[in-house]
Amino acid sequence: MSVQQLYKQWLQQPLPDYLATELAEIASDEQAIEDRFYQYVSFGTGGMRGVLGAGINRMNIYTIRRVAEGLACYIMSNGEEAKQRGVVIAYDTRHFSYEFACETASVLGAHGIRSYVYTEARPTPQLSFTVRQLNAYAGVVITASHNPKQYNGFKIYGEDGAQLTPQFANEIVAHMAEIDDIFAIEAATLSKLEQQGTFTWLANDLDRAYLTELLTLKSNDAIDCNIKLVYTPLHGAGLVPVSEGLRAFGFQQVYLVEQQAVQDGAFPTVPYPNPEESEAFELAMNLGEQVGAELLLATDPDADRLGVAVKNGEYYELLTGNQLGALLLHYLLATKQQQGALPHNGVMLKTIVTSELGTHIAEAFGVATVNTLTGFKYIAEKVAEYEKTGDFTYLFGYEESYGYLIEIFVRDKDAVQVALKVAEMAAFYKTKGYTLLEQLENLYKEFGYYKEALLSQQFEGKNGQVKMQAILQRLRDNMPREVAGLTVSCVEDYLARTATFVDGTVEQLTLPQENVLKFILADDSWIAIRPSGTEPKCKFYIGAVGETAEQTEQKLEQLKQAVVAMVQF
């Protein structure tokens, strides 16, 4: 069907009032109609994510039913046992998250597939844990992570509790493509499914089971539990598990940002609920000043990402994802080494756009580093692989975008785990007489000064997508030989799966195919270009390294300017 035909089809349906009103309001706006109907919401990294609203390129009950139907077909293709093991469904605090969770269960139930739904918002990592705990066949979490309030999403997890890798995700996409009429998808009522025994509300015993596992992370009793902490869930699902976990770890002076403890999908106190941004910490910083807190913690709405700020004289300084990852890695490895628990075949996992500082820290402890593509599903995939082969013992995994995993009872990034461990780490270093920032400086002095930056450019709508792909193709057709005065020593093209060196040598890359370019420079600085899998933007990652902080900062600025010129923003 054409865009206009789809628009008219939707107008003829008995839609909820809010969707019908939206469609009526854009009747004379061809661009708005085009944007809502030119494609279905794309199924990218870990699932689908988009703006709430009417149309096939929006998140609404009908596009949710479509992806739920695709998941149902996938499960049914794997036999009766898969149907009976069923699907765990969790959701965050966003607008329509609860409704979308119920719609998902209704579609699955119409096919006789069992589902388990939390009665309240729960973190994404707890969904991963629960899939494994209940031996379910799959999991779903309704979330758009740290996106603005206009967004929501649908993420699918496999029976191992990890996000689906492309192979299995493509099977679901293929089933979705076979759906001719989005309005003809059957959805049973939850009351009927409950009577049939194919629908279950999840109880608090699973909360307790998750907390019990969290307590296994405590590995150091030589800490000062009197450290003052401020925590904000940014109106999201981390409120209960992080607060209870910190108390259970022994921290008595935990101050909650009350205004942001209200679970509200409008996120009224922040521009958008991203713990990577300083604006998200404004209220936490105000409270920290009032109570004299040494450490601030913030989780995003589904509590899979953690942001951290540390008192630095008269102000609070935010740690980057790379900085916190390096601190955690060193603390975890040093603790295990001191306890004699460092395995001979330990491995640290990180993504190709994460700082190389972690590689050198791991090397100092005799721990291997394995790089993966961007997306925590690839880290989880390696965890499962090493469980089977025994080639490596997993010790830590992280990515620059504030995602970390310590213990593998969860198979996705887990801000709840990390919030507890960061508090323990800060308390430990306090007993040594220094802060996390001072420990970070110690790491820089030992391993070199590493600093990273992320630039991004929005490419909204159909025309934006075409322009973004053209930029990448232009770079592939005209590979730069030099960037900011530094020779490009290697170009890694993950779409072609080749690494081309300055002498013309070409090697095959072993990682899966993905539309990413990475330029490695002569001094080990680097640039990576990657279209987002979940948002209409292209991301430009930059890493610089030098012998001093000033040298590295200067080099990073030069690389940023070179990237802007290279891609012609």
207 forms beta bridges with none
Question: Rounded to an integer, what distance in angstroms lies between the CA atom of residue 84 and that of residue 415?
Answer: 31
Q: Which residues pair with 24 in a beta bridge?
A: none
Please pick, among 145, 355, 401, 525, the residue that the annotation labels catalytic: 145
42 catalytically annotated: no
Residue-range domains of the chain with CATH: 1-38 (no CATH), 43-209 (3.40.120.10), 224-317 (3.40.120.10), 322-447 (3.40.120.10), 449-567 (3.30.310.50)
Q: What is the mean pLDDT of each run of 10 residues along the chain (569 residues)?
A: 95 97 96 96 84 98 98 97 98 98 98 97 98 98 95 96 88 95 96 95 93 94 89 97 96 97 97 94 98 98 98 96 98 97 98 97 98 93 97 98 97 98 97 96 97 88 77 86 93 95 94 93 94 77 96 96 83
Query: With the C-alpha atoms ordered 401, 377, 232, 101, is the resulting torsion angle positive or negative?
Result: positive
Q: How far is residue 434's CA from residue 96's CA, in Å, rounded to a whole number?
A: 45
Strands (E), 485-553: 486-493, 498-501, 506-508, 517-521, 526-531, 537-546
Strand 199-202 relative to strand 87-91: parallel, antiparallel, unpaired? unpaired
β-bridge pairing 486-493 and 517-521: antiparallel
d(CA 454, CA 520): 16
Predicted local confidence at residue 547, as pLDDT? 94
Instruction: Record the pTM.
Output: 0.94
pLDDT at residue 283, as a whole number: 98
Identify the residue whose tokens are 């993420």. 155
Q: What is the rounded CA–CA span in Å between residue 115 and residue 10?
A: 29
d(CA 381, CA 448): 31
> What confidence score (pLDDT) does residue 426 get?
97
Break the chain down into helix, strand, coil percent, rounded to 5: 40, 20, 35
Dump the DSSP string for 165-201: PHHHHHHHHHHHHT-S-GGG-----HHHHHHHT-EEE
Give the per-residue SS3 of 214-277: HHHHCCCCCCCCCCCEEEECCCCCCHHHHHHHHHHCCCCCEEECHHHCCCCCCCCCCCCCCCCC
pLDDT of residue 73: 97
Does residue 324 contact residue 275 with C-beta atoms inside 8 Å? Answer: no
